């Protein structure tokens, strides 16, 4: 592969936002490019480089000096705006330093691939006369919705119960990203999601962690607006196309997984009998919701493996763990890819974060979706109504999903109705694999990019 492109001297820098759900896809993309012969340096805080686990040897890591004081906080600041300012100062300094260092070593950087929520990285790239490409870690649909808002095809607060946008199904208010459906709650994050489009006319490429067939119509619409290239799903290769033999995991876990406990427990269960429950790395359920979820799992009378992060465990009902040891295992973090691909898993109860959604689709697991915020409601709409691989729980008048509703949804996906959803997930799994495999849409997009970048 390397010699095929003659690309060994072509150097690019990758700058993800330092969160689990952002680093994972950008590091995976970096691994693909490095295997094809690019020299890829990923810029990330020292504390994250320290928590990396082996095997991503094809990619070079450049640590940014952060406070790294074991507080778990990258930067401490009182407001989001102050955080953002300190973050930008620290990371832009790191990016400039790396570009200059590479120049002095004779590895001139050709392109900066930056997390799309860090649009100032483009200004730095341009100041140094090099190319720039934002990387979208959410779906093309989400990117299109915010772009439509940026272009004022609709305004906030939403006036109509449904929004009609080019190439997208009708979206109800509660299908919209929460920064749009509840603009008063997240003004700063809404601004971040819109700001990235200010300089999109200057970018060389826009990469997205999706694949063409998954979002066919909207991809075709976006292509008429920006130079979009879907390069996903960025699941480790050994779970899909198997062309990168060393690529078995994400190499990064910001939380410590209970690997042995989970896998041994799953090994003891029959095929398709376990409900896997996880709400990702950030979502925090209210105490009442946590209790309803716990009791819903108990009522379902099924086996369950539930990830409750350390910071959330105190919200579990008293004696819940003792009372459910026969049926359930509660852990603080798990190896999610290994879990989802285990034969014992029958369904995934998820917050519908984009990585978890793509992982379930790519590994053939139907879902019960319980979105919390950000893009998750929109992903849930697609899971249920477009890809038909799961059902979305209903929220009651108080904004809570009751134990009865949880029980009902789990039983539906684990029961007869779930069989069709399972068949649909297997269709998506096949299409995801085809997209990444030789000659597939994502593979072709990467090849076309490679052919151009080596000539810059």
Structure tokens at 240: 């899909």
342 counts as catalytic: no
Q: Helix or strand or coil: residue 1?
A: coil
Minimum Å gap between C-beta 401 and ligand UDP is: 18
Q: Toward ligand UDP, which CB reaches closer, 324 or 341? A: 341
Shorter beta-carbon distance to ligand UDP: residue 307 or 383: 307
331 vs 309: CA distance, rounded Å = 8
Q: Which is nearer to ligand UDP, 28 or 109 (CB)?
A: 28
**How many whole angstroms separate alpha carbon 112 and alpha carbon 142?**
23
Which one of the listed residues 115, 175, 212, 247 is annotated catalytic? 115
Unique residue bearing structure tokens 């410590």: 256
Answer whether 223's CB lies under 8 Å from 144's CB.
no
Q: How far is the CB of 431 from ligand UDP (least distance, A)?
A: 20
Question: Is the Cβ of residue 130 or residue 339 nearer to ligand UDP in the bound state?
Answer: 339
Q: Cα separation of 377 and 279, whole Å?
A: 13
Residue 355 vs 378, nearer CB to ligand UDP: 355
442: Cβ–Cβ under 8 A, 6 or more apart, which residues?
Answer: 211, 212, 230, 231, 232, 233, 435, 436
Which of these, 240, 208, 207, lies nearest to 363 by C-alpha position?
240
Structure tokens at 36: 């094809």
Min dist CB 307 to ligand UDP, Å, is 4
User: In a 3-state reduction of DSSP, which class is residue 90?
Assistant: helix
User: Strands, E, within 137-175: which ranges?
Assistant: 162-163, 171-172
Query: Least distance (Å) from ligand UDP to the CB of residue 271?
Result: 22
Binding site for ligand UDP (CB under 6 A): 20-21, 24, 278, 280-283, 307, 333-334, 336-337, 353-356, 359
Q: CA-CA distance, 41 to 60, in Å (whole number)?
A: 5
| Smallest separation (angstroms) from ligand UDP to the CB of 252 | 9
CA distance 280 to 278: 6
22 assigned to active site:
yes
Active site residues: 22, 115
């Amino acid at each position: 592969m390397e010699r095929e492109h003659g690309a060994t001297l072509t150097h690019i820098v990758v700058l993800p936002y330092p969160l689990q759900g952002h680093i994972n896809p950008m590091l995976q993309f970096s691994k693909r490019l490095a295997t094809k012969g690019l020299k890829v340096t990923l810029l990330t805080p020292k504390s994250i480089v320290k928590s990396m686990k082996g095997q991503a040897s094809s990619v070079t890591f450049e640590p940014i000096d952060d406070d790294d004081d074991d507080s778990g906080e990258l930067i401490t600041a009182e407001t989001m705006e102050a955080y953002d300012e300190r973050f930008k100062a620290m990371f832009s300094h790191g990016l400039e330093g790396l570009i200059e260092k590479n120049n002095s070593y004779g590895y001139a950087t050709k392109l900066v691939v930056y997390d799309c929520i860090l649009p100032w990285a483009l200004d730095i790239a341009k100041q140094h006369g090099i190319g720039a490409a934002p990387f979208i870690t959410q779906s093309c649909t989400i990117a299109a919705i915010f772009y439509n808002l940026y272009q004022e095809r609709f305004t906030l607060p939403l006036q109509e119960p449904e929004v009609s946008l080019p190439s997208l199904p009708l979206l109800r208010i509660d299908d919209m990203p929460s920064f749009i459906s509840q603009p008063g709650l997240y003004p700063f994050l809404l601004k971040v999601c819109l700001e990235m489009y200010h300089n999109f006319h200057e970018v060389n490429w826009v990469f997205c962690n999706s694949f063409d067939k998954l979002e066919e119509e909207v991809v075709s619409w976006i292509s008429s607006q920006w130079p979009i290239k879907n390069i996903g799903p960025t699941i480790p290769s050994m779970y899909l196309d198997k062309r990168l033999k060393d690529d078995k995991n994400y190499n990064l876990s910001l939380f410590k997984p209970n690997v042995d406990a989970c896998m041994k427990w799953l090994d003891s269960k029959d095929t398709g009998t376990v409900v896997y429950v996880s709400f990702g790395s950030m979502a925090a359920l209210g105490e009442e919701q946590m209790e309803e979820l716990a009791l819903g799992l108990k009522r379902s009378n099924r086996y369950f493996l539930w990830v409750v992060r350390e910071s959330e465990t105190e919200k579990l009902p008293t004696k819940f763990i003792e009372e459910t040891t026969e049926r359930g295992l509660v852990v603080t973090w798990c190896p999610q890819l290994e879990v989802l691909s285990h034969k014992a898993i029958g369904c995934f109860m998820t917050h519908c974060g984009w990585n978890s959604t793509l992982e379930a689709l790519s590994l053939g697991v139907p879902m019960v979706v319980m979105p919390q915020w950000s893009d998750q409601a929109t992903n849930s709409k697609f899971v249920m109504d477009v890809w038909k691989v799961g059902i979305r729980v209903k929220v009651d008048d108080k904004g809570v999903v009751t134990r009865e509703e949880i029980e009902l949804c789990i039983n539906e996906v684990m029961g007869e109705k779930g069989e069709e959803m399972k068949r649909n997930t297997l269709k998506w799994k096949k299409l995801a694999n085809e997209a990444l495999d030789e000659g597939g849409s994502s593979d072709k997009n990467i090849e076309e990019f490679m052919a151009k970048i080596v000539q810059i």
